[in-house]
Each structure stands twice: as structure tokens, then as C-alpha cells.
Structure 1
Amino acid sequence: MLCFFQVQSMAYQAFSLLVLLLSAMGFSDAGSIGINYGRVANDLPSPDKVVELLKSIGMEKVKLYDTDATVLTALANSGISVVVALPNELLASAAADQSFADNWVQSNISKFYPETKIEAIAVGNEVFVDPKNTTSYLVPAMKNVHASLVKFNLDSNIKISSPIALSALQNSYPSSAGSFKPALVEPVIKPMLDFLKQTDSYLMVNAYPFFAYSDNSDEISVDYALFKENPGVVDSGSGLKYNSLFEAQIDAVFAAMSALKYDNVKMVVTETGWPSMGAENEIGASEANAASYNGNLVRRVLSGNGTPLRPQDPLNVYLFALFNENQKPGPTSERNYGLFYPNEQKVYNIPLTKEELESGQSTPVNGNTSQVPPTGEVSKTSVGQTWCVANKNAGEKKLQAALDYACGEGEADCSPIQPGAACYSPNTLEAHASYAFNSYYQKKTRGIGTCDFGGAAYVVSQPPRYGNCEFPTGY
């Protein structure tokens, strides 16, 4: 009889062969993850340090909101692809005067390219909701900037587009009924999509499920918003099933383009994220939810699969944002979208690259992240069940204190982890703490907040196994 590991090895070899075959057939494209580097703050590290940070986390794509010379110089020869921006306040000048666009491209693009890998220019940002009413300048500005790229022989390497917000849609539910606001269609949407099609560019879209959830938390499941396990939502028009609000939002934009006969225009999600902190009325803004959303989104994107409506088009996404920005106006959440604090410490830990995912890093359902227990295997998924395990990144001191509490005042059943008992081996703090934390969690009927222990534990949706010790699911 073949042992488990032999079967597993054979399955892995078969899977590897399949991947090679698909690669040879041209189906190996995967989605990509980038990040927005905003600088509306007075406490951020220098651009040179930021570039080193980007390299350290394996980030190969970054999006800026301007063409700051110091930042573009720091990014030179880094291997990081860059999206830059022509700000909204320059749209009128770029639209009215070709020489202005020429000078801007010469001073802000060609001066730095190709040492700095500028791959696209975002002409404006969410122009349709700009209070200064710059919508009429958008497409003329895009055309003039593109004409400037042609003059400098850069048009084949650098794309032109403009990020739109989901507020450009008249309808977004169900996704199949997606449509643009009628007032925008003829003046700007169609001309812009025509331009993108002619220049082989793509539509930039900023999508935030957080806003939809926060405003409609009584109707939208938080699991649906955070890519967690959920029953899904069936689109009454197309019959397609959606397991995440993000995919439903993206397909609503695709449907809106399709309704105007622009099915062949691709899309890049230039902003999406979830705040780790918010005001009391900003429902859902929390560190755990931010880690869940962004971590699960990364996993979803790097799977290489598209959306239900466009399954063959891999998702390309820029997370918002690299840092918490302390001078951003608006609600509390606006200043707390960062994956990092200004001191370069992580706000929470999530995988950002395929290498991290393949090495076993996971994003458990409560948003904290850690490694799958290194001494055990994960058995088959049990739908609807969850377990509590130790977060080894919390440190030995915190884990030991939490373990003492669980086995003491917490009245967890810790007898199986005593010397000589069934779950004593492996004799590690992480394994023993995981067993104790799960015992407490299950006894408390998996109630909210019963698997935290001050950050020393998190919830997983697959049953962990340390050695031969199986974790119970209830008492």
C-alpha cells in the first residue's frame, strides 16, 4: 500500500506536469499584485527606504499619484514597474495645449524612462467625482498625452488610461445589469473606451467592497465581502454565482462595458483595500477584516483565475495602500488603509507573493496570519467548522501567558497535552498552546472574540493536526 506521502508526491508530480502543459499551451498567465504608494503624510520614510521596503516584500509593481522626481529617481534601476499620474489639476492645461502635454511628458516621463520602468500614465484620478468638474477635459488630455508619447517614441511601451470609481455606474446589482450613468456615456465613457481600444490600453477601476459593506451591513454578509467561505450570490440575470463582493463589482463594470459593445477592453483594478481602523460609524473597519480582505484578495488574484463573467482574464490589482497616511482628509478610515506604519512595521501580516503562498503562509478567517502548523498536515476541509490555533508570531512570552490562562482560569481541557498524554507530542509551545486555545474556543461554542488571547491566536477553517493529535470540534 502506498503511504500518504507517496500518494501526495505522485499527485504533486501530476499537478506539476499539468502546469507545464498549460504553460506550453499559453494558459500560464497569472494575476499580478501591485501597491499604491501615496504620500499624504509628514512621517513617511525616504523614497530610497521605500524602494528597499518594496523589494523586501517582493513587490514588483507600484502606483504613484504624481511624478515626483525624488521618487522616480529612487525607483530607477530597481526592476519595479511604475504607474505614474498626471493630477486632476493639470487636466485642463493638458487638454487645451499640446505643447503643455509635450513639455510635461519630456520633464516627467522621458527624463526618467527607461531607467525607471514607467509602464502607464494615469491621466487624472476619479475625474467624474472631481468637485472641480474636470470631466470634459479628460479624453482630450488623454489624447494629447498619448500624442506626446508618440513624439518621444514611448507610445508602444507606456499605456494611457484613467482610474474611474464605481460611482460611474448607474446600476451595479445584479452584476449582469451593470451600466454606466447615462449622463457620462456619450460625452466621456464611449470616447474613452474608444481611445483605450485604439491604443490597446485598459480601463483603470478603483473598487472598494468596504464602502458597500459598511453602508449595507444589514444586507451584505461580511464573509461575502471578505472572500471568506459563504453560500455565494447567484446573479438573477446571468445565473452566474459570486462568492465575493469584489468579483461582483468588477463584473458589473465588465457588463457595463459589454452593454456599450466594448467587450474586448481589458481592466486593471488600480485601487482596492480595506481600512484597519475607522470611526464608530464605519462598520467593518478593523485590523482583522483588513487582513482578511487583503490577504484573501492576494490569494484570489495569484490563483490566476478571472471573474465569473471573464474567467480567462487574470485579475491585475493594486492594493491600497503601502502606508497609513496621517494627513489624508476625511473619515478615520482614510488614514488607515496602509499595510505598513510609517516606521515600516507591518500593520498586519499577509502573504504578498506566490512564494509566500507556496511556502505555506495562509490567511485564516479572522484576519491574522501565520504559518500552517509546520509539524502536521492539514486534513480535508470541514465546511462550516472552525478551529483556534496559536499565532507563533506573537512571541513565546505572550503565547505562554495565554496558554497559562487557557489551562487555568479559562478552564480549557489541557489534560491531553500533559506528559505522557495523547497530545503531549510534539512537545512545543506552539502545539500545546494551539490545543489549549482550541479547547477553550470550542467550549465557548466558537463565540466571537473567544479565539484571540490578545493576538496570540487566530481562527482557521481547516482542522490542524500536530503529530497524531486531532483537534476536537466541540464538547
Structure 2
Amino acid sequence: MANSNNFILLISFLSFSFLSISTSGETEQKGPFVGVNIGTDVENMPATSDIVSFLQLQKITHVRLYDANPDILKSLSGTKIRVIISVPNNQLLAIGSSNTTAASWIQRNVVAYYPQTLITGISVGDEVLTTVYSSAPLLLPAMESLYNALVSSNLHQQIKVSTPHAASIILDPFPPSQAFFNQTLVDVLLPILQFLSKTESPLMMNLYPYYVFMQNKGVVPLDNALFKPVTPNKEMVDPNTLLHYTNVLDAMIDSAYFSMKNLNVTDVVVLVTETGWPSKGDSKEPYATKDNADTYNSNLIKHVFDHSGTPLHPEATSSVFIYELFNEDLRSPPVSEANWGLFYGNTTAVYLLHVSGIGTFLANDTTNQTYCIAMDGFDSKTLQAALDWACGPGRANCSEIQPGESCYKPNNVKNHASYAFDSYYQKEGKSPGSCDFKGVAMITTTDPITCPRNYMQSHVPATICSQPHL
């Protein structure tokens, strides 16, 4: 994901009235899909075979890689998980200036795995026009050379070639009908759009309502950014088309369609290659919370599977890739950069999505048995404070972690905290935010507690848990 500066959206219209792409041939499932991006800046990254097993467990059917990792591609063989692979920006020069190099890249990274591994697309570069503009002249030649190599292998119908753009290539995106591409980029963009039209490939866009909200607080309501239901008087109305927008992402997608229309391109669909919401941030990002991340991604998933499209194109629902599968804990500050994942690197959930009733996507849901435990790496004093709150004001049932009771051993603060945290989490119906305890708890699908529980017993007063459990 590019730095947030690349997502600044210039808003000249401030009086809102609140005032699936088929890319892999006949075997591709119909309708829009939700996939996940897999970044690798993770300190304890699972083995590739474990990642693929985890994807299958979570019923994730589409992934996007930031390279063409051979181990992952090999592990995906025979799984029916569809994958978009990428050409990193530092390879554009070689591929864009040599048809032979492009053909070799396709042979090595596509032909060697397809069709056992269902490669559906190639994303060429990443936000090149806004991050490494010096490479912009190489972008279309690289795309054309890769496409021609696919034609030579008779794979151009199954595998589409495109390039992801930052939202900031579109200026004045609100109202969507007045949006237009940055004029300084049009000479590069128009030939790319014509290539996408000719090859029936999507326009890849990285769209983050989080940054729109953060940079326009007071103009864009949080509920609209989070896909929350809004009353008619809080809908965003485009005065030129009278189209009503209930969420920011639809408005961003339609701003891309209007921008393309301004260049007489009307037959290219939008694929959202990145979107999401961070679950943690520093003091400057108070809206980066687990609750908001849960709300955004859960509502996003439901929105896609509702097949409701956008106000401009209700017949065409864009598929999306959530940014991202794992928290990339090796990312540089700000804090939010390391906290976009649905899962930690150890595959435990950062938070539980609430997507019941939308099909089989993601086992990480409230329908599954989940538990709340104390995280590693915190000192006893910090855990003790959280434990005292859970057993006191939180009214968790802590009777069985008292001396002589069935869950007293092992007698250490982490074990007792896990028991109390889980008691509170279950009592609260696993609601969003009920497994946090100021950041010292996490959700897991593996029950770590072997002693018998009895959460139906009467709650115990805070004084019982106030003694140290060391």
C-alpha cells in the first residue's frame, strides 16, 4: 500500500446532502468476489504451504500477491484459489524495454504454473503514476509486452493484464459526476485505458475511504465511510445526476467511471485491488480501531455479495481485494501501516468479521467457536490490571481461577487473564471490542484453556481478583 499522501482527495464540492470480473475462463465463478492481498513484511511469516492451507480453511478463493512468489504459486496448485500476480516496480525497466524479457517472465511465472495454479491476472507495477512517475513511460510497453507473451501462449483470454492506480489520480472526486483524471497524467493514462478496453481488462484502483474520511473530517461522516446504514438526509447526493450515495467507496468507484467517460472510455470495469481499514493507529489516527476495521470490512463484504453495484452502475458490482491478510508488523511507522491485516502472522484473528449469511466466504466469522486470550509479550503488571478489570467492573466469572478451584493452575497471571478475558468475551456475545482489554488480548479459534469452564455461575466481585496471580 502506498503512503497515505497518495490518497489525498481534493474536494471542491463540500455541500453533500447530509447536509465479477471473469478472468480465468470457463471455470471462473460468476458474480463479484472478495479477495485478500498478501503482503510479506511479517516477522514470523507462516510457511507457504501453511498459508495456502489457511486460505482454504478460511474459504478465501481469490488472492493478490505483490510479486510472483514461486513457493506460493506452487503451493496454490490444485487448490482452485485464483491469484493475481504482480510485476514489482523495480522490474518495469527490464520488462518494458525488452519483449524477450517479458516473454521469459511469462514463461517463468505463468506458463510454468498454469492451469494447475489458477492465475487470473497480472498487475504491472504498483501506483507507478503517483509514486515513481519516472517509470511511467515504461508502464504501457511492459503491459503490452506481457500481453503479447500471453497471446503467444494462448492465455490472453484467461489472464488479464492491468496496473493498479492510487485514488489520487482522480481530482475533484466529489460529486462523482465532476471527477476527472489529473490532466498531467492523461497522456500516459489514455493509452493505458485504450489498452484495457481492447484487451477487456479492468481498471485496477486502490481505494481507501479511511483516508478520505481522515483528510476530510467534518465533511465526510464516519458512518458513510464505514458503510453503516444512513438516513436519507445523510446520503451524499450528486447535484448533477441526483444519484444518492450511502457510502464513500461507491462514490470513489463512480468517480473512476465518470473520469473514464470524460476520456470516451465506457467499456472498462473497475476492480478494487486494495481497500480496507486499519485496526490500530497512533494518537494522530484515533479512528484506526478494531471496531471500525471490523465494521468497514464486514459491511464491505456484505455490500459486494449483495450485488447492488453503484448508483451509476447498479448492474455492475466491483470485485474487491481487502488490504490485507496479515498484519505486516515489519512496516515502517506510522503505527497504522502495520495494522491493516485481518489476521496476525500466527493466523489468529485480529478481530472477528461479522459476515454471517453471505455464503461460505471466510470461516473467520461469528458462526465459529472463538476464544479471547491474553497476548504474549506483556508484563505481569499490565495483564494484572486488565485481569482486575475483567473480574471487577467487567463482571467476568472468575470463580474457577481462585486457589483450589479447577482452573487455578497453572498459577500465573497470563493463564488467569486468558480465562477471565474469555469469560468476559463470551458473556458479551463476542461483540466487537469485547476482546481487547487495552490491546493485551486477541481472538483465537483454538481453545487454549483445558480446564472446565462454568460461565453460568454467579459473577464474583472485583476483590477476589485483585490479589496478584503470579
Partners of 2:428 and 2:155 lie apart in 1 by 56
Partners of 2:46 and 2:356 lie apart in 1 by 23
**Contact 1:247 / 1:307 at 8 angstroms: preserved in 2?**
yes
2:300 to 273, 291, 297: 297
The alignment partner of 1:134 has SS state of helix
Which whole-Å deviations, capped at 9, do the CAs of 1:370-410 have from their partners, x for residues lacking one?
Answer: 469xxxxxxxxxxxxxxxxxx99669x9998767489xxxx
**Which one scores higher on RCO, CA 8 angstroms, separation ≥ 6?**
2
**Contact 1:399 / 1:433 at 8 angstroms: preserved in 2?**
no
1:47-446 pair list within 5 angstroms: 47-131=48-132, 133-186=134-187, 188-230=188-230, 231-351=234-354, 370=366, 404=395
Partners of 1:77 and 1:302 lie apart in 2 by 25
Instruction: Specify the alignment match of 1:468 in structure 2.
Output: none
Partners of 1:152 and 1:61 lie apart in 2 by 23
Structure 1 residue runs of 5 or longer lacking an equivalent are 1-27, 363-368, 373-390, 407-428, 439-450, 457-475
Partners of 1:148 and 1:210 lie apart in 2 by 38
**Contact 1:302 / 1:354 at 8 angstroms: preserved in 2?**
no
- Going from structure 1 to structure 2, the CA distance change for 1:279 and 1:453 (only over 3 Å counts) comes to closer
**Contact 1:58 / 1:353 at 8 angstroms: preserved in 2?**
no
> What is the CA distance between 1:137 and its match in structure 2?
0.8
> What is the CA distance between 1:229 and its match in structure 2?
2.0
> What is the CA distance between 1:258 and its match in structure 2?
1.2
Partners of 1:171 and 1:234 lie apart in 2 by 15
Partners of 1:146 and 1:401 lie apart in 2 by 63
- Going from structure 1 to structure 2, the CA distance change for 1:199 and 1:358 (only over 3 Å counts) comes to closer
> What is the CA distance between 1:170 and its match in structure 2?
2.0
TM-score, with structure 1 as normaliser:
0.71
Which whole-Å deviations, capped at 9, do the CAs of 1:117-137 have from their partners, x for residues lacking one?
Answer: 000000111111223621111
Structure 2 residue runs of 5 or longer lacking an equivalent are 1-28, 374-386, 398-422, 438-470
> What is the CA distance between 1:31 and its match in structure 2?
2.2
**Contact 1:161 / 1:203 at 8 angstroms: preserved in 2?**
yes
The alignment partner of 2:134 has SS state of coil
Q: Number of aligned residue pairs: give it.
A: 367
**Contact 2:354 / 2:366 at 8 angstroms: preserved in 1?**
no
- Going from structure 1 to structure 2, the CA distance change for 1:87 and 1:452 (only over 3 Å counts) comes to closer
In structure 2, give the amino acid aligned to 1:155. H
Identity of paired residues, percent? 32
In structure 1, give the amino acid aligned to 2:338. R
**Contact 1:213 / 1:284 at 8 angstroms: preserved in 2?**
no
Partners of 2:396 and 2:348 lie apart in 1 by 29
Which whole-Å deviations, capped at 9, do the CAs of 1:395-428 have from their partners, x for residues lacking one?
Answer: 9x9998767489xxxxxxxxxxxxxxxxxxxxxx
> What is the CA distance between 1:453 and its match in structure 2?
6.2
> What is the CA distance between 1:319 and its match in structure 2?
0.4
Could you say what the CA RMSD is over the residues aligned between the two structures, in angstroms?
Answer: 3.2
The alignment partner of 2:122 has SS state of strand
**Contact 1:30 / 1:305 at 8 angstroms: preserved in 2?**
no
